[in-house]
Amino acid sequence: MKKKLVVLTGAGISAESGISTFRTSNGLWDNHKVEDVASIEGWYRNPQLVLDFYNERRLQLGTVKPNAAHYALAELENAWDVTVITQNVDNLHERAGSTRIFHLHGQLTKVRPENCCNEMDDYSEETVFDIGYDTIKLGDLAPNGAQLRPHIVWFGEAVPYIDAAIDHVENADVLLIVGTSLQVYPAAGLYAYAKAGTPIYIIDPNDVPVRDGRITHIKEVATKGMETFKNIINSK
């Protein structure tokens, strides 16, 4: 039986593919305030701005490709039972060949009715539609008659797969964290659910704000760090 490798990924793994991490040192996303483009309040205040923002992100996604780090994760499925839990809204893990992926923050290539935001609003995968790299316009309606909105988990909204993510982390034999600052909750707290003694590897060129004796910090960008990680686990 294959050992279970759980991988938590963030913006850093996709940055080398040319996808902007959006957030800058002054807290803006491509010169937009986060609350204007990543909150339900921003959506109700100016839906056209929000649609334009995500339409641009979606079009950009269609022009980039997975990088070596994405492919390295997919290849690990040959020897490991791999689960990818990603904070990213791109589809680069899928395109690289990973087969079990949980998108904590939604997906750029999908949309849903604006009145189906969480489980209390009858949200389910059946209300989500894949539009590829197309754009959404005001007046584009779902079958229930509601305006379509990006299938993105905005600040203040429930993270639909967080319980499943916790279950996978709790059962991991090895936990790998790639390209995330570990500052956006609840995803940032996932590593704490790993069992005592579970090895935790973090690939990030920057310092990480956690102290845990189980952690090995590979201080490299994602593509190089994945090579280092594979060498480490193959030597054990």
Catalytic residue set: 105
Q: Tokens 């680069």 label which residue?
A: 92
Q: Tokens 């079009």 label which residue?
A: 59
CA-based nearest residue to 60, from 100, 15, 104: 15
Q: Which amino acid is at 8?
A: L
Looking only at the bridges linking them, the beta strands covering 32-33 and 28-29 are: antiparallel
**Terminal CA-CA length for the chain:** 17
- 56 Cβ contact list (under 8 Å, min separation 6): none
Q: Which amino acid is at 213?
A: G
Tokens describing residue 51: 């649609």
